[in-house]
Amino acid sequence: MRVRILKDEGAVARSVASQVAALIAERPDAVLGLPTGRTPIGLYAELRERHAAGEIDFSRVRTFNLDEFLGLPSNHPASYRTFMDTHLFRHVNLPRRYIHFLNGMAADAAAECRRYEAAIRKVGGLDLLILGIGANGHIGFNEPTRSVKANTHRAKLAAGTRRSNADLFGGRASDVPREALSMGVGTILRSRQIVLIATGAGKSAAIRATVDGPITSRVPASFLQLHGNVELVLDSAAAGGRRR
Ligand code: GLP
């Protein structure tokens, strides 16, 4: 696993935005996997600015988000789709038909998960998947449990994950859905390239376990050790105080 430690979260955002820009310049129809959460907000701001400056053309890019809450319509203020509209999609020239999202309102969740896997396959797989990480080592909504799921699936949220998503719901963790749809660990590992971003001391234990710990379903991010092209881009706090 390659690990890059940068000064602060601004440097992480700028560096990963440059990687995304370079990929799109080289492959204008790149397929991106995208995360939500506080961590990528700076990255999305950078991408918006670079698009406004004429530096990134999203007109042929395809995107697949990692996960979505179960039971929320896409236009719900707390949905991950709304988050993406607010922070990125509304501001760039990404055609709506190229934006792929799990539908949290699907009547048949299993069929919706199969549809998503098929849609990813149909475009030839993900070129670059950007990931955040939960303080408990989750990726997407693959929470620490006795086993991991390979493919896109219906997932139960850990209590701590519901608390850390409470901001989207006016601070009320009890309003955060108990379940979500999420890419599986296999879906994630099939991406040709993975960049995991983490900032702040709250992530340092999860990062340590991801990099140095055993591969275990108790730390879903540890499965990234099995991937041949994964990079962790961290600020020094998430790296446990280590400097670059
Ligand atoms: C959320 C998302 C993850 C995200 C993680 C970290 O629950 N499902 O995809 O990476 O938690 O979020 P944050 O960046 O806000 O710490």
pLDDT category of residue 182 using cuts at 50, 70 and 90: very high
Output the average pLDDT for the chain.
97
Report which protein residue has its CA nearest ligand 1's atom 2: 140
Predicted pLDDT at 242: 72
Predicted pLDDT at 243: 67
Ligand 1 pocket, CB under 6 A = 35-39, 66-67, 132-134, 140-141, 161, 165
Q: Are 27 and 127 in contact (CB under 8 A)?
A: yes
Report which protein residue has its CA nearest ligand 1's atom 12: 37
Q: What is the pTM of this model?
A: 0.97
Walk me through the domains of the chain, giving residue ranges and CATH numbers. Answer: 2-239 (3.40.50.1360)
Kindly report, residue by residue over 201-227, the tens digit of the pLDDT: 999 999 999 999 999 999 999 999 999
Kindly report, residue by residue over 157-178, the tens digit of the pLDDT: 999 999 999 999 999 999 999 9
Does the pLDDT of residue 231 top 70, yes or no? yes
Q: From the alpha carbon of 180, which atom of ligand 1 is closest? A: 8
Q: Are 182 and 66 in contact (CB under 8 A)?
A: yes
